[in-house]
Amino acid sequence: MTTNSSPQLWLYDTTLRDGTQREGLSVSIEDKLRIAKRLDQLGIPFIEGGWPGANPKDVQFFWQLQEDPLKQSEIVAFCSTRRPNTTAATEPMLQDILAAGTRWVTIFGKSWDLHVTASLKTTLEENLAMIRDTIEYLRSQGRRIIYDAEHWFDGYKHNPDYALQTLEAAIASGAEWLVLCDTNGGTLPHEISQIVQDVSSHLSLVISQELMTKDKGQRTIPQIGIHTHNDSEMAVANAIAAVMAGAKMVQGTINGYGERCGNANLCSLIPNLQLKLGYSCITEDQLTQLTEASRFVSEVVNLAPDEHAPFVGLSAFAHKGGIHVSAVERNPLTYEHIQPEQVGNHRRIVISEQSGLSNVLAKARSFGIDLDHQKAEAKQILHRLKDLESEGFQFEAAEASFALLMHEALGDRQKFFEVKGFQVHCDLIEGKETSNALATVKLAVEGKNILEAAEGNGPVAALDAALRKALVNFYPQIATFDLTDYKVRILNGHTGTAAKTRVLVESGNGRQRWTTVGVSTNILEASYQAVVEGLEYGLLLHSQAEAVVKASS
């Protein structure tokens, strides 16, 4: 827990620039604006918005934020040093940076002599001039500078004297932050720690001399930051090692998005730094928004959330083994390193064939069902669970189906409708890329038989549409239900086309999401089971919500 005396760390998010370099990730201007505003709510001090001028999208992004500024965060423009053998004042890309209108600008420059000669194809001295000229020019235009020392650790290990000269050039030109970048992601924590300490010791003398001789003690002393990549699965550990060695700024991305293997994951860094090491990063209230922010960003960029991500993953505080569940029920500290609510997550009791009675009782309580472990119903549910999972059902990922199973065992499962039968017909028209499907369903609702048909671009879509069409007149709330995800797994592939199939269907109503499961050797039968239970559970939620409203009125 942080206090007023906790040392301050400055978070710098680069999801909108470095994070979007992840393969398969693409965002629109609207997406970028939504993410920026969500990070602003989270209290991230610096948000790197992109490289103005590199593409029209980033130009418009910065323009729109000038019209509708963020409330807490500083939006930062990103750019390289000027090109070799030019001047910063005549460099067109720096004019785009100025037009972005940000107070802070991050400039990256080459630290590794190999990159200077092989990539830039210029001299070591010209590279130093590029760093000095670019920073001095932007400073003269009223901008504050964060200097990203690209490939810093590789450069330092190959030629430490020259790497240090690049930082000295940035210091002399007025950079306020010196961010050491492990761009290739190959450095290990003990190296990070030692190099950051060495750099701090060397620069303390250089900075003191610079302040005394040039600015007479009036300039802000530059501080060190860290930017790590995850190519060795060390990005978070390396960032923490740098902080422990004296770094005051930590750069990273939400969910660790980034090129190749990604960047340091802020969703892991923030709670580790704040809850474990006592640094002040964001407020405690903002920290409780971390899980929601992580999932929000994953939704906007259209990537499935990592359910096993530390701190913010759906399974981060999930307990499956019966002994674990029993212990956690008595004292959460037995199997949880923090309180899940501190990061906006929650404890989950997972139901599977490995479950004991304590799992069933805990899961029942999470659904508002009070089970007595001495009653036959509790043991009946456990036995039924294990029987079904032996057949291929999986309830740890389909909690809504398990809730319906519990209500069935207790004899209070509401019968909103009964499916009497269904047929699905598919047409594959030669020369067309898509096929058409027609589903017909026969249901009994409130004593009435209903026959309905609907088309879809596939058999499951047609079946789902026919069911909704038949039920919506009786249950208008079904119009708000969406089928948000559909997963199929072959359970015994060695049997070929006769293999048993498990289907997981995720549904939602705009406020909640729930998952149901079906298993059969017929993929349509398995899909039918999952889709029908998804509709049934949604109606159950609506019925329960109405009951609560009536009870309170």
DSSP line for 54-114? TBHHHHHHHHHHHHS--SSPEEEEEEEPPPTTS-GGG-HHHHHHHHTT-SEEEEEEE-SHH
For residues 526 and 519, is the Cβ–Cβ distance under 8 A? yes
Query: Which secondary structure element, helix H or strand E, spans residue 528, and what is its range?
Result: helix 523-552
Query: Which secondary structure element, helix H or strand E, spans residue 452, and what is its range?
Result: strand 448-456
For residues 127 and 120, is the Cβ–Cβ distance under 8 A? yes
Longest dimension (CA), the chain: 92
Q: Is 148 helix (H, G, I), strand (E, B) or coil?
A: strand
Gap between the Cα atoms of 15 and 258, Å rounded: 8
| Closest to 317 measured CA to CA, from 277, 352, 348, 287 | 348
Residues of the chain with pLDDT under 50: 1, 216-217
Domains and CATH numbers, the chain: 10-282 (3.20.20.70), 318-403 (no CATH), 426-467 (no CATH)
Regarding beta strands 144-150 and 104-110, do their DSSP bridges make them parallel or antiparallel, or are they unpaired?
Answer: parallel
Q: Is 348 helix (H, G, I), strand (E, B) or coil?
A: strand
Look up tokens 């930590």; give the residue.
250
Q: What is the DSSP annotation of 3-55? A: -TTSPB-EEEE-TTTTGGGSTT----HHHHHHHHHHHHHHT-SEEEEE-BTTB
Read off the pLDDT of residues 14-40 as tens digits, 9 standing for 90 and up: 999 999 999 999 888 989 999 999 999
Q: Is 506 helix (H, G, I), strand (E, B) or coil?
A: strand
Q: Where are the alpha helices (DSSP H) in 447-522?
A: 459-471
Question: Among positive and negative, which fits the CA dihedral 261, 266, 272, 273?
Answer: positive
Contacts of 553 (CB under 8 A, 6+ apart): none
Contacts of 229 (CB under 8 A, 6+ apart): 182, 183, 184, 185, 235, 258, 259, 260, 261, 262, 263, 264
Question: What's the token pair of residue 9?
Answer: 């760390």
pLDDT score for 352: 58
pLDDT score for 369: 76
List residues bridging with 149 in a β-sheet: 109, 180
pLDDT score for 1: 46
Gap between the Cα atoms of 147 and 203, Å rounded: 15
